[in-house]
Amino acid sequence: MKDINILAIETSCDETSVAVVKNGRSILSNIISSQIEIHQKYGGVVPEIASRKHIENINIIIDKALKESGKKFNNLDAIAVTYGPGLVGALLVGINSAKALAFSLKKPLIGVNHIEGHISSNYLSHKNLKPPFISLIVSGGHTHLVIVEDYGKYKILGRTRDDAAGEAFDKIARSMNLGYPGGPIIDKISKEGNKKAIDFPRAYLEEESFDFSFSGLKSAVLNYINNSNQKNQPVNIPDLAASFQEAIVEVLVKKTLKAAEKYKINEIVLAGGVASNTRLRELFLEKLDNKKLFYPDKELCMDNAAMIGSAAYYKYIKNDFSDYKLNAVPNLDLTSL
Ligand code: KG4
Ligand code: ZN
């Protein structure tokens, strides 16, 4: 069978990324231009700045990705792009660039759901991984527990009712004045702390629920910091970070394993920025039993276009193409696939 080369564009948040992916599994190039340093001074992503930087960068990154892939425009079989969820202005930069490319090259256009992209990053890191499996997607914007029944076929078991897991890491890091993004910093500092120092609440919600909630934990940590400040007691930052991280990670691991038991699925697949958390992986490995754990290579945990190119391949082989009406859907869900 002929190789299928897809050029994919990802601009849903603060990374401008373009990749060329072969047959959904091989990365020919994956250029990621992060704006993190620009947003760091604001303590989070500023949407207008993100859009403007995407516009400045996108053509340069497309050229770079194509050059590095060793392919020419006429070797491409399709153009893929993230159309949601994400920041509307940021998404539109990618979508309009993809439309222009697809139109001028007369190639099919494929709109991809960003969350589906995160799941698909595992197909690039694990060449033999195939559905069905259970996937825990934990990033700055989303927390989902799903059964991937087949390529592009998802059964949502649960999702966050308030903050996303990564968002909780970022907010707590900000309240501890640790900087942005908070996840990697808390992960690192926790290694020097005692995870049992402070017993923060674990929100398991209703007995049968696979939903998550992190707002109670967030309030508990903020109260702890305020109380300590009022009493003029110094806060042990590594202990606080480790105890907070343990409370988040324990709930994620327990609920995922419970779902795996209930649905009798032995393969567990992590995705999204928080999937690179050391303690999350460690606790899964401690509790796995006979189940198998997969997670993407570090670079593929964060936002990148290669994961979009992988997801797009499985749409390509089903002739599941988008037309030029494709628009940004900022709160696109996985169920709408
Ligand atoms: O997937 P991603 O790059 O972007 C979104 O789609 O949101 O995820 C970014 C999120 C941020 O909230 C960041 O703090 C978190 O992933 N993160 C981590 C770690 N590395 C990144 N959270 C916990 N531990 C980490 N090592
Ligand atoms: Zn993401």
**Calpha distance 174→181 (Å, rounded):** 9
> Which amino acid belongs to residue 254?
K
For residue 239, how far is its CA from the centre of ligand 1 (angstroms)? 21
Task: Identify the residue whose tokens are 């197909």.
Answer: 123
Q: Is the CB of residue 302 below 6 angstroms from any atom belonging to ligand 1?
A: yes
Amino acid 209: pLDDT: 95
Task: Identify the residue whose tokens are 């940021």.
Answer: 90
- Cα separation of the two ends of the chain: 27
For residue 182, how far is its CA from the centre of ligand 1 (angstroms)? 8
Q: Which residues surround ligand 2, an ion (CB under 5 A)?
A: 139, 303
For residue 273, how far is its CA from the centre of ligand 1 (angstroms)? 3
The ranges of the chain annotated as CATH 3.30.420.40 are 5-120+301-336, 131-296
Amino acid 337: pLDDT: 42
Looking at ligand 1, which atom is closest to the CA of residue 142?
7
User: What is residue 77's three-state secondary structure?
Assistant: coil
Looking at ligand 1, which atom is closest to the CA of residue 140?
7
For residue 315, how far is its CA from the centre of ligand 2 (angstroms)? 19
Amino acid 334: pLDDT: 86
Amino acid 108: pLDDT: 98
Looking at ligand 1, which atom is closest to the CA of residue 303?
3
Q: What is the DSSP string of 82-117?
A: EEESS-HHHHHHHHHHHHHHHHHHT--EEEEEHHHH
**CB of 271 within 8 A of CB of 137?**
yes
pLDDT tens digit at each of 337 positions of the chain? 899 999 999 999 989 999 999 999 999 999 998 888 887 878 778 888 889 999 999 999 999 999 999 999 999 999 999 999 999 999 999 999 999 999 999 999 999 999 999 999 999 999 999 999 999 999 998 899 999 999 999 999 999 999 999 999 999 999 999 988 899 999 999 999 999 999 999 999 888 999 999 999 999 999 999 999 999 999 999 999 999 999 999 999 999 999 999 999 999 999 999 999 999 999 999 999 999 999 999 999 999 999 999 999 999 999 999 999 999 999 998 874 4
Q: Write down the CATH number for the domain with range 131-296.
A: 3.30.420.40
Which two tokens mark 16?
């401008």
Fold of 5-120+301-336: Nucleotidyltransferase; domain 5 (3.30.420)
